[in-house]
Every structure is written in C-alpha cells, then in structure tokens.
Structure 1
Amino acid sequence: MESSGAPQQIAEPAADEPLAHRRVVFGIVSIALLMASIDQTIVATALNAIRGDLNAELTWSGWTITIYALGQIIVMPLAGRLGDQFGRRRIFLGAAVLFTVASLLCSLADNIYLLVVFRGLQAIGGGAFMPTATGIVSEQFGRDRDRAIGMFTSIFPIGGILGPIIGGIIVTYWSWREIFIVNVPIGVLLIVLGLRFIPRSVPQRAARVDGVGAVLLGLTILFGMYGITLLGGNGATPADPFFIGAEVIAIVLGVLFVRHANRRAAPFIPISLLRGRGFGAMNAINFLFGAAVLGFGALVPLYAESRYGIQPLQAGTLLTARAVGMICVAGLAVFALRRTGYRTPMIGGFVLVAAGMTVMSVAPHGLTPYAWLALAAGITGIGMGLSIPASNNASLQLAPAQISAIAGLRGMFRQSGGIVAVSITTALLAHAQNGGLAQANSFVVFAVVLLLILPLTLFVPDHRGSW
C-alpha cells in the first residue's frame, strides 16, 4: 500500500492491480454517460412540444428518438474497435466534442427533418461514450472492473431523474430548444476534465475498420425503419409500393451484410461475438430487453399526457420515479453479483419490469392517475436495477479481452430493439382512434416480450462466486 517515491502512474497495472487515480477517471467518464442519459430522457419528455412547434407528424417526431438509437447502433461497435486501435482517450474526447457541437445545432433546427439530421450527428458522439468509457474504466480498475462497470448502472438512472425534471421545467417555462443547450456547458466541462485527467492508453494491435459492414448494417436498419415510418405517417398501407420497396431493400441489404461478415477476416461485427458460446443468448436478450424497456421508457411521458392529460412537467417525473426505483436497487445488485450469479437477478428483474408495465397499462384503482403511473414506473425501475448490472456483466465475462467491442455490441442490440419498438408503436398510434388506450395495449405487449426472455437466461453462463 505504501508505494512512495517510484513513478507508478503507468498505463497497465501490474498483476491486474487497480490504479490509484481510478476514482477521478471514473467520475469523468460518468459525466459523459450522465450527459447522454439526460439527453435521452429530456427528448422523451419534449416529444409533444417538438411535434407541435415544428408542425411534425407523430412518426417523424418519433424519429428524433429513432435516429439517435440508429446512430448509436452503428457507432458503438465501431467506437470499441477504434478505441482499441487509436487509443480510448482520443476517441472518447472526440466523441465529447461532436456530441457538444451537435447539441448546439439541434437547438437551432427550424424543421423536423433538420432536427433529425442533427440528432444523428449527436448520436455518433453519444454512441461512442459507453464502449470507450467501459474500456477506460476496465484499464483503471483492474480486477475490480466488474463492480466499476456494474456501477455504470447507477449513472443512467441519475440522468433519468435529472432529465425529466429539467426537461419538464424547460418545456413548461421556455421551449424544447433549451433541452439541447443544456448539453453544451456539460460537454465543455467534460472535454476540459478529460484532457487534464484521463491517461493515454496504449493502442493495441491495429485492426482495419470494416467500413463496408458498418454501412450495410446502417442502411439495413435505416430502410427498414423508414418503411415503418411511411406506414404510420402518410396513410400508407402494407400494399403501398414505397413501403414494400423500402422493406425489400432492407432485406437485401441485411442478407449482404451477413454474407460480408461471414467472408471478411475482421468484420464490423465478429461472427464469434454474434453466435459463439453464450453470445447468441445474450444478444437475443439484449435485443428483446431494448425493445421492451427502451421502447417503454421513450413513450411513457407521451402516454401520460395523451391518456390522462397530465402536464409535461409531471409526465416527465414519471421517468424520475422509475429512475429512483432503479437507483435503490442497482448498487446492492452490483455488489451481490459474485454471490448471486447472473441468472437469478436477471429473471427476477425481468418479471418485475413486466409487472410494472402491466400495472401502468390498466386504469387507476384507488389512486390518482399520476400516483398510479408513478407506482408502476417505480416497480419497473426496481426490476431494471436488479437485472441490468447482471446483464451488463454477463457478456463481458465471456471474453474479457474484448470488453470494448462487447460493450458496443450490447448497446447495439439494445438500441436496435428500442428502434423497432418505438418505430412500430408510433406507426400504430398514428392510426389509432384512442392513442392513450392503444399505447396502454403496447405496454402489455412489451411485458409479454420480457417474459419471453426468461427461457433464454438458462443459456447464459452464471459465474456464481467468480469473476
């Protein structure tokens, strides 16, 4: 413990020992995750305000969430690879600069299409935060990296608490544009602290980035979601030639992507991380979890406003109730992982989240609508706090040497599920006579999706008592 004198601040800790300045670095990368989390929940709260101010259809307003998730899908695996190749600090700080500038541009957009484009740029920066932050923290914490990475679970709900409150206040007393301005001073602070405190990491062996694979995957998802947007926003039917054309193009591009990944030595998404031992089950779990939980979270404020007439400020705090429930459990779940293993908290958490969604879908009993929805949101938060630390670490355990790439893939599958859920739900709501009731039914569907995950957890290595 007393290592006075000799220089010790080197990039790689001997014998997997944690570095002395690890807590400062953890705090800095947590600012980035907090900023991304705040931005996501703020936009969910301001969806109605954006829709009204820019004269946008509901489906295109939903694209402010969809394009952000799409950008993260592409960037997360790419950022992990680039961080390994060029240094995680460099990629992390570049992401912070792009996120900050794009936030400023979002605040200046004067139509929904321009806003969607700027949100896409913002997503490129935000998507690089998680994989690079995971790699940076893993370097700093050594053998304690499982607990440090698990603690990221508590960062997002803090943003979930701050985002809806800040967003609700801003939308109520100013306008939706200021929700993006909030990111600018936080981003500047992040860049300054990162330059000062995050150590340079030694680049690992160079691996050529698979740009063709990244483009094919991105276009596959883009055309698929565009077709769904046409179905929801322009009165198109499944027989509409534009809808059919978009979906056919998506299928063709998807087939080309799979063929390309199978033939390339170093594909954008390594096949071994898609269907190898344990990865197939975890990828399916992350996709379905993202569809249910990210889709649900993005639409809760809209649901409260459209079904019960709750004001934006109050509607936003429903996500705060969920975040509080998550924080109350997440810290304890992180430190219990080595004792409980991964399967038990995942199963218990998924069941609780499904129960909360079901409660939210039904009419209030003995409580005001707001109190009923807050209770339901709190139950989902407890379930998320129980399940997310385990699911975050389960795939990392399968290949600890590829932590950045795996963290990127995990985010990619969750965001893919979220994109599908938000796009399909907003398309259905655009045609529903009673939007609030239709959304309540969608929550029941999300709950069923979560229950379908339970058998998949049996294929996840449990690692009880070990790291």
Structure 2
Amino acid sequence: MEPSSSAELTADQAADEPLAHRRLVFGIVAIGLLMASIDQTIVATALNAIRGDLHAELNWSGWTITIYALGQIIVMPLAGRLGDQFGRKRVFLGAAVLFTVASLCCSLADDIYLLVVFRAFQAIGGGAFMPTATGIVAEQFGRERDRAIGMFTSIFPIGGIVGPIIGGVIVTYWSWREIFIVNVPIGILLIALGARFIPRSTPKPAGRVDTTGAVLLALTILFGMYGITSLGSSGAEPTDPLFIASEVIAVTLGFLFVRHANRNAAPFIPVTLLRGRGFGAMNAINFLFGAAVLGFGALVPLYAESRYGIQPLQAGTLLTARAVGMICVAGLAVFALRRTGYRAPMIGGFLLVAGGMTVMALAPHGLTPYGWLALAAGITGVGMGLSIPASNNASLQLAPDQISAIAGLRGMFRQSGGIVAVSVTTTLLAHAGNGGLAQAHSFVVFAALLLLIVPFTLLVPDHRGSW
C-alpha cells in the first residue's frame, strides 16, 4: 500500500505543478480581460456624446451600459460550462472573434436602438472572457492558482485607468464611434496570440446546457429593465400600463425561472451554488456590491459633468484615480490573503468604498471640484483593491473543481446589481430638476448598500492558507 500511496501522491503533486509557459498564457488572456474592462469604463465617459449625437434620451443611452451587463450575466455561467465541455481555448477564441466584430458594428450604428443591439453581441463576447480565462489560468498555475486568480484584480483596474483616458481623449478630439474601433486591432492581436500559444484543455463530459433556464433569466431581467427605463420617458408615471405590464411579466418569468431551476437536473444556475454552504451569502454580497460599485463607477463621469461642468476628458480621469487607488492596494491584498483570510479585508474594503462615495456626494471643502472628486474616487479605489481579491476567492475555494462556473456566477450577480443600479438611477435622473444633486443623493444610497453587506460577510466561511 505504501508504494502505491507514494506514487499517487507524486502524481498529484506533478499535476499541481505550475506549467512552464504560464506567464505568457496569463498575459494573453489578460488582453481579453483588459478589453472587457476598457469597454465598461470607456462608454461611461461617452454617455453624453452618444446621447447628443444619436438624439437619445438619457434613460435609453444608459442601455449602452446596462445591456452590456445583461449580456455578461447570461453568458458568464454558460461560458464556464461550455468551456469545460468543448475546451476553454475554443470558447475563449470564439468570444474574442465575436467581441471584435461587434465592436466594429457598434462604431457604425446610426441610432440608439441599433447601438444597443450591437452592444448586446459585444457583451456576449466580453462575458465569456472571465470564466474561460479563469479556468485557463487555474490549469496553468497549479497550486499557485489562488494568487494568479487574485491577480486578475489588477487587470480590471488597468482597464479602469486606460479606458477613461482613451474615452476622454477620443470624445474630445474625435467622436464616440472611435471608442469602439479601438477594440478592433487589440482583438485581432488577441486572436492571433491565443490561437498560437494558449494550450488546448481536455474537454470534460457535460450534460445538456439548460437553454430554457438561460432564456427565462434573460427575459426576466430584460422586461424588468424595460419597465424601469420606460418610466424615464417623457410623461411616464408609475401607473403607466407599459411599466406595470413589463414588471408583471418580469415577476412571472422570475417565478418560472426559480421553479425551473429547482426541478431541472442540470439547471442553468446550479441550486447548490445558489444556496449551498457560503454561496448564498456570497451571492447576496456580490449583488449588493455590484449595485453599489458598478452602478457608481458607470455614472461618475456623468456626475462630474452634470454637477460641476467638468469636461469629458477630466471627468474620465476620475475613474483613473479610482483605478490607481485600487492597483496600489490590490497586489498587496492578494499576497496577504493567506494570512488575513477573507472576512477582514472584505469588511475593511466595503467601509472604505462607502466612505469614498459619501465624500463624493458632499460639496467640495478646501479643494477644487475636480480635486475633491479625485480624492473621493481614490478612496473608493483603495477600498475596492482591499475587498475584491478576498471576495473573488471567498467562494472559489469552497468548490475548486467548479472554478469556471463559480466565476461566471459571481460576475452574474455583480452585473445584475449594476444593471438595477444604473437603470433605476438614470430613470430618476431623467425626472430630476437638478440631475447633479440627484446623483449625489444616489451615491449616498450606494454607500448605504455597502454598509448592508457587512453582516453578510460574517456568514461567509473564512479561510487562511492555500486552498
């Protein structure tokens, strides 16, 4: 028995060894994550330009952000499962092709509705990057996968730095259309490098993909969004039949989705990952975190322009200030996770982000409006850098054999929160007499949401050391 046990142990250790070309592969998949990150922040700086050029109302312009989030919500859980079934490299490269082509189509759109449709296709490609890239990196880094996955936290802030600057420059000196064209050469480079260097993963046997569940969830969110957005149209009230009908349909479809998930043998979202040990609390945290942080980030440039008259280029760099604060802390937080565990950095980070949002909502004291907003954005970035690595890993270590599915589910809940926050906020702003002040009040609400998260962190199983 001893020689056999020793041989099994040696085989397990060999399988868990980091692979030789892991850093090159990490760099390639990071390009995909960078593109997806850039497109979340770059559009935020162009919201006013898109609205003006396409003669669209603010609430419908906001769909360029929310439809991108919706597409990612649906695709993330599917991409994780499809990557396991057909090979992560194949799914990752397919996503890169779709994202690149859709970006080109977005640049050619001549009305807001067509732009929203192309953004939906772009989101399908962008949404598949995270779960497949997570799986690819986990395979490459072996026992170091927790740190490698945590380092993804530093990829998104880079997009947060580059995106607003590029968006501000392009909107100032060219037009909003070029913000999508930027993705085309990057996408071509990603496809070429990925095809050449990303190793093929061994497909795993998988059951039928639950398309019924995916469609029910997509329609639930879509009708809910449409109803909320309709309130932002001129003269619309909560008693409007279109709003009521949309929300009734959304609630009905949501009920059918939950019933389907409970009855299906292999549902779109596994019930164990919704309610299992630690997962229920993390899903609630991710939803509220997405509502507060993603919704907040998408609307910061609009706030700076509306309340203080700051130009788009400067307004975009506020997201850069947030990303800088995040990068300064994220790397240290990743390497400290094995000592600190997950709860402490999450709680500390959430409190810092809430404080930064509250500061941003207040009138400037002793600084210019831009300096005050940059300081507040930097504080939120530090809080995000502290909390995101811990929240990214908190559920992954509970089921290391389902990394792709969990990463997709995490993104789904965060994007769902962001969708609700952006849809409700832009609808309220469409009715507000003073948009800038109304948005300041919304930031206080976002801060309160983050405070609500703190009790949930106590329900998350804490963990120290490697997985």
Q: TM-score, normalised by structure 1?
A: 0.97
Deviation at 1:401, TM superposition (A): 0.3
Contact map agreement 1:84 1:203 (CA 8 A) in 2: yes
Task: Give 2:191's aligned residue.
Answer: 191
Task: Give 2:255's aligned residue.
Answer: 255
Task: Give 2:208's aligned residue.
Answer: 208
Aligned residue for 1:170, secondary structure, equals: helix
Task: Give 1:274's aligned residue.
Answer: 274
Q: Which runs of 5+ in 1 are unaligned?
A: 1-11
Task: Give 1:9's aligned residue.
Answer: none
Mapping of residues 310-329 of structure 1, within 5 Å: 310-329=310-329
Q: Label 1:13 to 1:38 Cα distance change in 2 as closer, same or farther (>3 A).
A: farther
User: 1 CA distance for matches of 2:14 and 2:55?
Assistant: 59
Deviation at 1:443, TM superposition (A): 0.1
Contact map agreement 1:304 1:310 (CA 8 A) in 2: yes
Deviation at 1:24, TM superposition (A): 0.4
User: 2 CA distance for matches of 1:96 and 1:396?
Assistant: 25
Deviation at 1:15, TM superposition (A): 3.6
Instruction: Give the superposed CA RMSD.
Output: 0.8
Q: What amino acid does structure 1 have at the position aligned with 2:216?
A: L
Mapping of residues 165-314 of structure 1, within 5 Å: 165-314=165-314
In the alignment, is residue 96 of structure 1 matched against residue 90 of structure 2? no
User: 2 CA distance for matches of 1:350 and 1:291?
Assistant: 13
Deviation at 1:206, TM superposition (A): 1.9
Deviation at 1:315, TM superposition (A): 0.2
After superposition, the C-alpha distances for 1:267-323 in whole angstroms (9 at most, x for unaligned) are 000000001100000000000000000000000000000000000000000000000
After superposition, the C-alpha distances for 1:89-126 in whole angstroms (9 at most, x for unaligned) are 00000000000000000000000000000000000000
User: 1 CA distance for matches of 2:177 and 2:225?
Assistant: 26
In the alignment, is residue 402 of structure 1 matched against residue 402 of structure 2? yes
Contact map agreement 1:13 1:142 (CA 8 A) in 2: no
Q: What amino acid does structure 1 have at the position aligned with 2:366?
A: G
Contact map agreement 2:92 2:128 (CA 8 A) in 1: yes
Task: Give 2:118's aligned residue.
Answer: 118
In the alignment, is residue 369 of structure 1 matched against residue 369 of structure 2? yes
Task: Give 1:53's aligned residue.
Answer: 53
Q: What amino acid does structure 1 have at the position aligned with 2:107?
A: S
Task: Give 2:70's aligned residue.
Answer: 70
Deviation at 1:238, TM superposition (A): 1.1
Contact map agreement 2:146 2:466 (CA 8 A) in 1: no
User: 2 CA distance for matches of 1:261 and 1:452?
Assistant: 27
Task: Give 1:162's aligned residue.
Answer: 162
Deviates most, 216-225 or 14-23: 14-23
Contact map agreement 2:287 2:413 (CA 8 A) in 1: yes
Deviation at 1:39, TM superposition (A): 1.1
Task: Give 1:446's aligned residue.
Answer: 446
Task: Give 1:4's aligned residue.
Answer: none
Task: Give 1:352's aligned residue.
Answer: 352
User: 2 CA distance for matches of 1:416 and 1:31?
Assistant: 24
User: 1 CA distance for matches of 2:332 and 2:461?
Assistant: 21
Task: Give 2:4's aligned residue.
Answer: none
Contact map agreement 2:41 2:160 (CA 8 A) in 1: yes
Q: Label 1:21 to 1:13 Cα distance change in 2 as closer, same or farther (>3 A).
A: farther
Aligned residue pairs, count: 456
Deviation at 1:234, TM superposition (A): 3.6
In the alignment, is residue 28 of structure 1 matched against residue 31 of structure 2? no
Deviation at 1:13, TM superposition (A): 8.0
Q: What amino acid does structure 1 have at the position aligned with 2:143?
A: R
User: 1 CA distance for matches of 2:156 and 2:466?
Assistant: 26
Deviates most, 206-215 or 104-113: 206-215
Q: What amino acid does structure 1 have at the position aligned with 2:445?
A: V
Aligned residue for 1:266, secondary structure, equals: coil
Task: Give 1:18's aligned residue.
Answer: 18
After superposition, the C-alpha distances for 1:235-275 in whole angstroms (9 at most, x for unaligned) are 21111111000000000000000111011100000000001
Q: What amino acid does structure 2 have at the position aligned with 1:440?
A: A
Q: What amino acid does structure 2 have at the position aligned with 1:171?
A: V
Q: What amino acid does structure 2 have at the position aligned with 1:317?
A: T
User: 2 CA distance for matches of 1:266 and 1:233?
Assistant: 40
Task: Give 2:414's aligned residue.
Answer: 414
Aligned residue for 2:74, secondary structure, equals: helix
Q: Which runs of 5+ in 2 are unaligned?
A: 1-11
Aligned residue for 1:232, secondary structure, equals: coil
Q: What amino acid does structure 1 have at the position aligned with 2:80?
A: G
User: 2 CA distance for matches of 1:235 and 1:404?
Assistant: 45
Deviates most, 285-294 or 205-214: 205-214
Aligned residue for 2:237, secondary structure, equals: coil
Deviation at 1:14, TM superposition (A): 2.5
After superposition, the C-alpha distances for 1:302-347 in whole angstroms (9 at most, x for unaligned) are 0000000000000000000000000000000000000000000000
Q: What amino acid does structure 1 have at the position aligned with 2:336?
A: A
Q: What amino acid does structure 1 have at the position aligned with 2:434?
A: N
User: 2 CA distance for matches of 1:436 and 1:235?
Assistant: 21
User: 1 CA distance for matches of 2:213 and 2:466?
Assistant: 36
User: 2 CA distance for matches of 1:363 and 1:372?
Assistant: 8
User: 1 CA distance for matches of 2:162 and 2:409?
Assistant: 27
After superposition, the C-alpha distances for 1:347-393 in whole angstroms (9 at most, x for unaligned) are 00000000000000000000000000000000000000000000000
Aligned residue for 1:463, secondary structure, equals: coil
Task: Give 1:140's aligned residue.
Answer: 140
User: 2 CA distance for matches of 1:21 and 1:125?
Assistant: 25
User: 2 CA distance for matches of 1:20 and 1:154?
Assistant: 22
Q: What amino acid does structure 1 have at the position aligned with 2:20?
A: A
